[in-house]
A and B are shown apart, each in its own frame.
Chain A
């Protein structure tokens, strides 16, 4: 008797679950889906909540916004394969461009919104142990024999790519030659005891396992890492002690509307409103609170002077250079090819480093 009741219950449950799954495949078009890369989880959480409230105030409609996070490259791949993203916010221009190549973005996507579709930017900074015991102040300190560097592999990690480009660029942007840059970066990667595959693993290596003296990472990740370490770590803006001032790469997480998807889903107007919201003072506040650098931060001065003052101390002025300035054609494709393609500069540097050891 009980067995039959149990079997009956299980059968009803499974049939119900099956119907739910089958029904879940029907598209829900009132939802906006933002497909983003990993290190922006908290940012989008706050921004989405802000936009939902903003949109409801303006139009009276309460939206649902869904968020997907993953590695930048695999997110691009998923969108190409049919993930119905309305907005993509990926870590690398090449990833966004891959989605365009698949015909999902209009060719002019980059020009459509202010600041080349960059509502915020970031950069690579140093995280060091409290009090900076090894006195690591500038890029040149990375190759000192008493310094160990933690950074993920540029082969597998966006974070690693930006770190590589910032090291290479630190030589070039100060007037050095390609040969100088290669020499510096080769020496620097010899100071890396473990080349982790992902940004998160590198953070664990540095912050929790206590390996290394300096961790190269995104500025927003650096702030979170320092906050979590509760006083055991601090941030160094490389070169802030030099006459030329702090210098690093301009990390450009482009944001784009996926035109093909919004047209099909009928969400073009909402996606456009979302993009414009990212440039409002309100969104800038959320961007700063999540340790990114908003475009035109001066706009904050009027909207929230207190936060602006805080912003200026947290984010000292740095000379941030575009990574594309490192190649003659100023294109991301060439950056990718020149540095990270099979057998190219990063591979050569690693091979050279191994020979010396």
Chain B
């Protein structure tokens, strides 16, 4: 507290601090260390995040808001990219909600052989480069495999079409939901579910009336992070998309294409939309975080909330 008030007054007064909190004095760094560190942090954050962020919006609107809007709306390929992202990301997130809840449930509630392996596998997409993830799908559904040839002969295109975009996005964003839910489920414990079971609840009732209310904030938190990553995914999607304009270009791919084509204002306009989505994500994340924390705290502390 005293550190903050000293900062707020802008003038650290060691004597006053000493009198107010003699014990703290010894555990605190001298004022020049603190100010250097704070200055350094602010400087780095400003340089690495603030300036690029501001420049995206500045570049996007450099030629006026009318041009900015036109850049987003006039080109049918750009429109399609926005549309496609609005389709691909939610579907990928929905798949991950199903997989994530199932995986988290089995890991948090059961002890079985291979459980450790499963936990590791869930984290795999974090450690695998997205490009490699994309290549995996190319190898599975490409022309080198029987499956790829069979699908092609039956007139169904997975790779280089939206289905592959969803698969690649879902793969890369898989850990978000499961990773969020495992600690929540473990913290809540099986007691309420066992009680419901003993009172004769069916599996579905148990899940819908007991488990979901317990994990809903953690789930929402995972969904938000998952969605942010899904909308911004580039590497894996680039590999499986085939880069067909107006057909398989998502927003990040379109940004890159506009940029490569020297259409900087349009590239920045679309980039600014992605940035705004990121900012909304951040806001939602901040709003939900306290609720998630409340859920993961031991059940006893949570009791007065009910």
A residues at B contact (CB < 8 Å): 10, 13-14, 17-18, 20-22, 24-27, 33, 35, 38, 41-42, 66-70, 75, 78, 80-84, 102, 200, 203, 224, 228, 264
A68-B242, A68-B245, A82-B141 in contact; A25/B162 too (CB < 8 A)?
A: yes
B interface with A by C-beta (< 8 Å): 86-88, 90-91, 94, 138, 141-144, 148, 152, 155-163, 165-166, 242-247, 257, 259-262
A200 near B260 with CB under 8 A, answer yes
Query: A67 and B245: CB pair below 8 A?
Result: yes
Among residues of B, the one whose C-beta sits closest to the C-beta of A198 is B260
Secondary structure call for the A interface: helix
A20 near B87 with CB under 8 A, answer yes
Task: Give the shortest distance, in Å, between B130 (CB) and chain A (any CB).
Answer: 15
Assembly CA distance A18 to B162 (angstroms): 10
- List 9 A-B pairs, minimum CB-CB distance, nearest first: A81-B142, A24-B162, A83-B242, A82-B143, A17-B87, A68-B244, A83-B160, A14-B94, A25-B163
Q: Whole-angstrom distance from the CB of A259 to the nearest CB of chain B?
A: 15
The interface residues of chain B lying within 8 Å CB-to-CB of A102 are: 143
Min C-beta distance of B9 to chain A, whole Å: 45
- Known contacts being A21-B88, A38-B260, is A26 close to B156, with CB within 8 Å? yes
Is A66 a contact partner of B91 (Cβ separation < 8 A)? no
* Cα-based distance from A46 to B167 in the complex (angstroms): 34
Whether A84 pairs with B91 at a CB distance below 8 angstroms is: no
Can you report 17 residue pairs joining A to B where beta carbons are below 8 Å apart?
A: A17-B87, A18-B94, A21-B91, A22-B163, A25-B156, A25-B158, A25-B161, A26-B157, A27-B157, A42-B261, A66-B246, A69-B257, A78-B242, A82-B143, A83-B244, A203-B262, A224-B262
Chain A neighbourhood of B152, CB < 8 A:
82, 264
Partner of A14, one of B90, B143, B162, B262: B90
Residues of A within 8 A of B245 (CB): 66-69
What residues on A are CB-neighbors of B148 within 8 Å?
A: 82
Contacting residues, chain B, for A17 (C-beta < 8 A): 86-88, 90-91
Q: Can you add 16 more A-B contacts, CB < 8 Å, to A82-B143, A83-B160?
A: A10-B90, A17-B86, A21-B87, A21-B166, A25-B156, A27-B157, A38-B260, A67-B244, A68-B243, A69-B243, A81-B159, A81-B160, A82-B152, A82-B159, A83-B159, A200-B262
Closest B residue, CB atoms, query A103: B143
Is A81 a contact partner of B138 (Cβ separation < 8 A)? Answer: yes
Find the A residue at minimum CB distance from B88: A21
Q: With A17-B87, A18-B94, A25-B157 in contact, do A70 and B243 touch (Cβ < 8 Å)?
A: yes
Whether the Cβ atoms of A27 and B155 lie closer than 8 Å is yes
Residues of B close to A75: CB separation below 8 A: 243
B residues near A81, Cβ cutoff 8 Å = 138, 142-144, 159-160
- CB neighbours (8 Å) of B242 from chain A are 35, 68, 78, 83
Which of A10, A21, A22, A66 is in CB contact (< 8 Å) with B244? A66
| A21 near B163: Cβ-Cβ < 8 Å | yes
CA–CA, A22 and B158, complex, Å: 9
How many Å lie between the Cα of A73 and that of B240 in the bound state? 15
A124 to B141, CA, bound (A): 39
* Nearest-neighbor residue (CB-CB) of B144 within chain A: A81
Contacts of A41 in B (CB 8 A): 261
Q: What is the bound-complex CA distance between A286 and B143, given in angstroms?
A: 35
**B144 CB contacts on chain A under 8 angstroms:** 81
Q: What chain A residues lie within 8 Å of B160 (beta carbons)?
A: 78, 81-84
For B86, the chain A residues whose CB sits under 8 A away are: 17
Does A228 contact B162, Cβ atoms closer than 8 Å? no
Q: How far is the CB of B231 from chain A (nearest CB, A)?
A: 13
For B158, give the chain A residue with the smallest CB separation: A25
Whether B90 contacts A24 by the Cβ 8 Å rule is: no
Q: Please report the C-alpha to C-alpha distance between residue A68 and residue B245 in the assembled complex, in whole angstroms.
A: 6
| Nearest opposing residue in chain A for B163, CB measure | A25
B142 touches A82 (CB 8 A): yes
The residue in chain A whose Cβ has the minimal distance to the Cβ of B246 is A66
Tell me the bound Cα distance from A228 to B262 in angstroms. Answer: 9
**Could you tell me the distance between the alpha carbons of A20 and B244 in the complex, rounded to whole angstroms?**
17
Nearest chain A CB to B303 CB, angstrom units: 24
In the bound complex, residues from chain B placing their C-beta under 8 Å from that of A78 are 160, 242-243
| Nearest CB on B from A329, distance (A) | 30
**For A22, what are the chain B residues with a Cβ–Cβ distance below 8 Å?**
163
- Complex Cα distance, B257 from A224, in Å, reads 16
> Chain B contacts of A25 at CB under 8 A?
156-158, 161-163
Known contacts A68-B245, A224-B262; A84/B157 CB under 8 A = yes
A13 to B86, CA, bound (A): 10
Q: Please, how many angstroms separate the alpha-carbon atoms of A198 and B94 in the complex?
A: 37
When distances are taken between beta carbons in the complex, the residues of chain B under 8 Å from A42 are: 261
